[in-house]
Structure 1
Amino acid sequence: MIAFCSGQVDHEEYFKGLQIVVGNQVPIIGGSAIGIITNESLSYEGYTAGVAIIESETIQFRVASADGLNKNEKLAGQKLAKKLSDSIDGRILLIFYDSIKNPPTETTPPVINASSLLIQGIEETLKSDVPIIGGGVIGDYEFSHTKQFCGSYVDNQSVVGTLLGGDLNPHFRIMHGCIPKDGIYHTITKIEGSVLYEVDGKSVVNMIDNQYGNKDWRSQVPVKRLTIGVNYGEKFGNLKEKYFLNRLITGVLPNGEGIVLFEPDLKEGSKIMFMLRNNKMMIESAKKNSSELLEEIIANGEKPVFGLYIDCAGRAVKFSDALTEEAYEVQNVFNQYNTALLGFYSGVEVAPLLGKNNGLDWTGVLLVFAKGQMQT
């Protein structure tokens, strides 16, 4: 069972209720979510919750979990992978983990558990070279502590992983939604972990002040419109969204010396662009990618049976100020093809980008399970 609930819900009682229905032998994975997406509904207000039960005699799986994310993300990944290494011949590893290392205070922005280190730990230890897809869970827009459903129990600062194999064909697409602000490349000249201080030898905070024309953006947690992007495609000419890896800005240090990024994976010397969120592109990308993915699955002679949409909470109308929910486009496509859908609003999304497993920001990751050959 895959299950999520908003931060307002009593996670332990919710988990117990699920076990009353399915029994304590059925592993439950998932955790906190800002909101839920299904074929019929989309909500991030109040006490939202959603589940999907996958029953099959031909799918193989193994569930494991590891704690201590806030102490050492890489070690937690290694512990998880060690528990899964000698199990089944997996085709995909599905992970959900605690996004929040430290909630924000009155003077400091939140600190996020690093997906890059978690993924590194998994890849160094797992004996199977499988794609990793999943998300960092988050329960509200205040970046409060979260909970994870770890198979048979509820925990925090944990990662739960499910290695899936057997009669199962996983397919995925990444929905983007950011464009370069001005197309100018900048060089990181001072960064420590996830704290970016200087770009081109200048204060990055002052640079962003100048771009906004004021300091109002400093109060946003996270910053709403501006992100930091790295282009892994052609550096000039026709820039394509699918080659960009974007990093959200969680906030500004209280002394204004630097900005805090969602991930600590950028280094001094890295070439970056300032990116703007584009709601029109975001909606178009959701429609185009979900349609194309299901069309490709069917054209390949397979039958799509279930979709999991891991959707950045920043893409919701409540935060993005878009005119309509981009997840409606995904809903419409799945209803058109009569395929079950469960989605949740996440803190971080995880999927392979250009062949490498990555933590992603401001994206929607659509995973579709398909099986067999379509009957004609």
Structure 2
Amino acid sequence: MVRIAYARHFETAAAVNSCVAQLHGVAPLFLIVFSGGKHAGADVHRALATAFPGVSMAGGSAAGVIALAGYGYSGLEIGLIAFTDPSVVPTLYVNNDLLDGERAAGQAAGRHVAASATDGATVLMLYDSVAVGAPLRLHPASSIVEGFQDGLGGKMVQLFGGGLLTDLNLSDGWVIDADGARRHGLQVLVFPPGVRAATAVLHGCRPVSSFMTITRMHGAEVFELDGEPALTVIERMLDLPLGGTEGHELTLIATLGQKQGDPFAPYDENDYVNRLILGADRTSGSVTLFEPDFTEGALVQIMARDNALMIESVRAGVAAANRASAQGGAFLNMYIDCAGRVSARTGASHEEAEVVTGDIDRGVPFLGFFSGVEIAPFDGYSRPLDWTGLLATLRYAP
């Protein structure tokens, strides 16, 4: 039903041509492409349109690509998912208005899906993560997803997806379709009836503080925890500075986590929604989170990254994906992996993506990419997650 191709080359045309050769003459009906950020979007589009004239496509930039044949985040990688069976080809909705309002763009996408999709449809959402490069501002996935859910008007779908980046430094992002590559785009791919997705979320953080209350917050910026400057509290708890001497750089030392359900239930990593700290302001004592969906009055904990727990979670998640594949009808394993989990960022001795590709069922086509944010079903409701890996097993079960 699908074919996978992966290549790495400093020349865009050479990388694309290598992918084309791996399809062995098969004419795809639809393409999803993930391209490292050292390839210009326009060049990727030109090469694909030349190789496959008239074929619809989706996808965009990726901080890296993960395949069974190899993986990397040099920016030179390109991965293709080529759909060859009409029974699993998704329909594509494109919105290029994220810069005018993320929630409104999400609502428009939700209304489109509500009008065109069947109940329970499997939906893949991809979007350009970066709104402005300097000073860095992201397109918040929480606003997009909230708008999308509102636009659905109660229709239930299986939503998963991720944010697109050009590199590990959050420098830029772009999406691609049959008309070209562009910034500030949102894509929604709706799979036909009969396609279902089983998802496993891979974590790797532990709480290192008691519960604290957000006592002052504006948007994604947390000013106070329990009445003290948030930056002071977090650095005191960790006994480490955040974000370098000026505090402006992305930090992957810790996240803020919000436990769902009973806060006093035994620890389970799957109960937490964690938010990466995008930067800190030493003048105001605040920290800025990846998403603006935490609120004043919320109970949160400081969560520390745990590389050993990350690998343990990966193995459990891959085992769950393999169990889903064993049910039959699996035609694609897709991995959406937070770019912050690569060893270049965590200092881990093993790449967790390598563990995934080593343990996953190789009888099912597989492709993944390094993302900015992961969108996954969580407690009955799809929402953005940070510092996670999302394994989605797509099955055709008419």
Structure 1 length-normalised TM: 0.92
The counterpart of 2:74, out of the listed 20, 45, 57, is 45
Cα separation, 1, equivalents of 2:87 and 2:325: 19
CA–CA distance in structure 2, aligned partners of residues 152 and 43 of structure 1: 28
Q: Deviations over 1:222-273 (max 9, x none)?
A: 1121100000133225210001000000001262431110000111100000
Q: Evaluate the alpha carbon distance shift between residue 198 and residue 27 of structure 1 in structure 2; reply closer, same or farther with a 3 A threshold.
A: same
2:320 counterpart (276, 282, 292): 292
Matching residue of 2:271? 243
Contact 2:94–2:186 under 8 Å retained in 1: yes
- 1:202-221 CA deviation, whole Å, 9 max, x = no partner? 00111123234353644462
Aligned match of 2:148: 122
Residues 1:176 and 2:180 aligned together: no
Distance 1:167 1:329 in 2: 30
Deviations 1:122-175 (A, max 9, x none): 111125310211001111122212111135331111101111123322211111
Q: Does 1:141 align with 2:141?
A: no
Aligned residue for 2:127, secondary structure, equals strand
Match of 2:84 in 1: 55
Once residues 28 and 51 of structure 1 are traced to their aligned partners in structure 2, the CA distance between those partners, rounded to angstroms, is 10
Match for 1:72 among 97, 101, 110? Answer: 101
CA separation of 1:254 and 1:140: change in aligned 2, threshold 3 A: farther
Alignment of 1:3-18 (within 5 A): 3-18=33-48
Which deviates more from structure 2 when the two are superposed, residues 136-145 or residues 315-324?
136-145
CA distance in structure 2 between the aligned counterparts of 1:33 and 1:57, rounded to whole angstroms: 26
* Worse overlay, 7-16 or 288-297: 288-297
Q: 1:126 to 1:236 in 2, by over 3 A?
A: closer
Q: Distance in 2 between matches of 1:152 and 1:351?
A: 28
SS in 2 for 1:283: helix
Aligned partner of 1:200 in structure 2 is: 226
Match of 1:312 in 2: 338
- Kindly indicate whether the alpha-carbon contact (under 8 Å) linking 2:342 and 2:351 is maintained by their aligned counterparts in 1: yes
Q: Aligned partner of 1:35: which letter?
A: G
Q: Quick one: which of 342, 357, 363 aligns to 2:388? A: 363
CA distance in 1, matches of 2:67, 2:74: 15
- The 3-state SS of whatever aligns with 2:83 is coil
Residue 95 in 1 paired to residue 121 in 2?
no
Show structure 1 runs of 5+ residues with no match. Answer: none
Which secondary structure state, in structure 2, belongs to the residue aligned with residue 357 of structure 1?
A: strand
Post-superposition offset of 1:21:
1.9
Gaps of 5+ in 2: 1-30
What is the aligned length? 364
Contact 1:91 1:170 in 2 (8 A): no
Q: Structure 1 residues 210, 104: CA separation in 2 closer, same or farther (over 3 Å shift)? A: farther
Q: What amino acid maps onto 1:112 in structure 2?
A: L
**CA distance in 1: counterparts of 2:236 and 2:384, whole angstroms:** 29
2:191 maps to which residue? 164
Q: Aligned equivalents of 2:175 and 2:151: distance in 1?
A: 22
Out of 379, 386, 390, the residue aligned to residue 354 of structure 1 is 379
How far has the Cα of 1:5 moved from its partner? Answer: 0.9
Contact 2:229 2:285 survives alignment (8 Å): yes
TM-score (norm 2): 0.87
Give, in angstroms, the shift of residue 32 of structure 1: 1.0
Corresponding residue of 1:2: 32
| AA aligned opposite 2:100 | K
Most deviating of 42-51 and 358-367:
42-51
Distance in 2 between the 1:62 and 1:216 partners? 43
- In structure 2, the residue corresponding to 1:165 is in which secondary structure? coil
Alignment of 1:271-290 (within 5 A): 271-290=299-318
